[in-house]
Amino acid sequence: DSKSRVTIVGSGNWGSVAAKLIASNAIKLPSFHDEVRMWVFEEVLPNGEKLTDVINKTNENVKYLPGIKLGRNVVADPDLENAVKEANMLVFVTPHQFMDGICKKLDGKIRGEVEAISLVKGMEVKKEGPRMISSLISKQLGINCCVLMGANIANEIALEKFSEATVGYRESKEIADTWVQLFSTPYFMVTPAHDVEGVELCGTLKNVVAIAAGFVDGLEMGNNTKAAIMRIGLREMKALSKLLFPSVNDCTFFESCGVADLITTCLGGRNRRVAEAYAQNGGKRSFDELEAEMLQGQKLQGVSTAKEVYEVLKHNGWLEMFPLFATVHQICIGRLKPEAIVHYREYKA
Ligand code: NAD
Ligand code: 13P
C-alpha cells in the first residue's frame, strides 16, 4: 500500500484543529488514505454520553472545539493501540505532561516505517537534563520525529483565519515537505526549518513568557511594560536555547515559531489569560484552581514549563542569567508576588 495513513494522538483544542486541517488534505491528496484516525482520551460528558461516540456521531469535538466540523473522514478512537496500529504517520498533540505515559503505552507497539511529528509545546526534565518531547517520542518509540510550532491559537485557525507555522526537521527535507503538504491550506501557511531543537524550544519557552505577560496585564502595567517583558523573554528564549543546543539557528527566532508565536500567545493565549487572573487575585488563588475553572478541561503548559526550566537553570548554575524565567516560576509557586515580574535588580542580568 503506497498511500500514507495518518493518526492523530490527542484531541484537545489544538488536536481537534490539527485533525480538521489534516482531514481536509487527506481527502484531497492522492498520496494519503482518506480516513484520519484521532485517538481520544475517553471521558463521559455530563449527559452520560462518551466523548468518542459524540464526535463520531456529530463530527464535532463538543467539549474541546464546539461548533466546528472536523471533516467526515475523521474517526475518533478511544483505544490508543488500535488507533495507531495501521498508521505510518503519527501526529502527537496532547498537553506535554501526558506524553511520557502515552509513549510508555506505545513502547514496542510501533512497527515498520513510521514517521512522527510533535505539536506538543513543552519539555521533560530528567536526571540527565532536559528532554524535548520530540526526542522523548523519537527515543522511546524508535522513530524519527519532526515538530510543528507557530503562532497558532487553535480557535482562530478553526475559523480559518490566516496564520503561519514552522515545521522543524532534523535530517530529511523530503519528510519535512510531506508534513508541510499534509498541514498546509490556503489559510495555514507552513514553512520548513532545518532546526528541530530551535523550533521546539521556541514553542516551549514562549509559554513561560506568556505567563509573565499575563501578570503584567493583571497588574495593568500597560503596553510598554508588556513589550519589555516580551523582549526580555525573547532574549532569554534565545540564550537558553543556544546554551542547551549550540546548533540552534538565530533565524529560527524570526520564523512563525519564534517571535510570532511569542506575540500571539502574549496577546491572546490561555497562559496569558489565566496568569492575568492569578495576578488580579494577588496570587491568592492557585493556578490549578484557576485553570480548572477558566479552561474547563483544557490545560496550561506555561506553569509546569516554568518549573521545568527553573530546574534546568538551577542544576546548571544559570539562574542569574535568566531573571525572567526564574521570576515567573517563583511567582507561580507563591514565593514572590506578581509585582516581582518587573523587579530585576536583585539579579545580575
Ligand atoms: P488541551 O489544552 O485542550 O487539553 C485537553 C486535552 O488533554 C484533551 O484532549 C483531554 O482529553 C486530554 N487529557 C486530559 N487528561 C489526559 C490524560 N490523563 N492523558 C492524556 N490526555 C489527557 O490540549 P491542546 O490545546 O490540544 O494542546 C496540546 C498541545 O498543543 C499543548 O502542548 C499546547 O501547548 C499545544 N498547542 C495548543 C494550542 C492551542 O491554541 N490550544 C496552539 C498551539 C499549540
Ligand atoms: P496558549 O496555550 O497560551 O493558549 O498558547 C497557545 C499557543 O501555543 C499558540 O501558538
pLDDT at 348 over 60: no
ipTM for the complex? 0.99
pTM over 0.95: yes
Query: Does 261 contact ligand 2 (Cβ within 6 A)?
Result: yes
Question: CA 108, 52, 302, 331 torsion: positive or negative?
Answer: negative
pLDDT of residue 173: 97
Please give the distance, rounded to the nearest whole angstrom, from the Cα atom of residue 193 to the centre of ligand 1. Answer: 24
Query: What pLDDT is recorded for position 6?
Result: 98
Give the whole-number percent of the chain exceeding pLDDT 90: 96
Cα–ligand 2 centroid distance for 30 (angstroms): 32
pLDDT of residue 34: 98
Average pLDDT over residues 66-72: 98
State which ligand 2 atom lies nearest to the alpha carbon of 271: 3
Taking the CA of residue 301 as reference, the ligand 1 atom at the shortest distance is 34
Q: What is the pLDDT of residue 264?
A: 98
Ligand 1 centroid–CA 298 distance in Å is 6
Integer Cα distance of 144 and 172 in angstroms:
10
Determine the Cα–Cα distance for residues 303 and 325; give it in Å rounded to an integer: 11
By DSSP bridging, strand 123-126 and strand 129-132 are antiparallel
**Percentage, residues of the chain above pLDDT 70:** 98
Separation between Cα atoms, residue 10 and residue 74, nearest integer Å: 13
| pLDDT tens per residue, range 210-224 | 999 999 999 999 999
For residue 314, the surrounding DSSP H or E stretch is helix 302-316
Of 20, 63, 121, 206, catalytic:
206
Report which ligand 1 atom has the smallest distance to the Cα of 14: 26
Residues found in the chain: 349
Compute, in angstroms, the gap from residue 258 CA to the centroid of ligand 2: 13
**How far apart, in whole angstroms, are the C-alpha atoms of residue 130 and residue 127?**
8
Catalytic residue at 206? yes
Helix H or strand E segment including 20: helix 13-26
> Are residues 340 and 331 in contact, defined by beta-carbon separation less than 8 angstroms?
yes
Cell 514562549: give the residue: 206
Instruction: Kindly tell me if the per-residue pLDDT of 347 is higher than 80.
Output: no
Note the ligand closest to the C-alpha atom of 272. 2
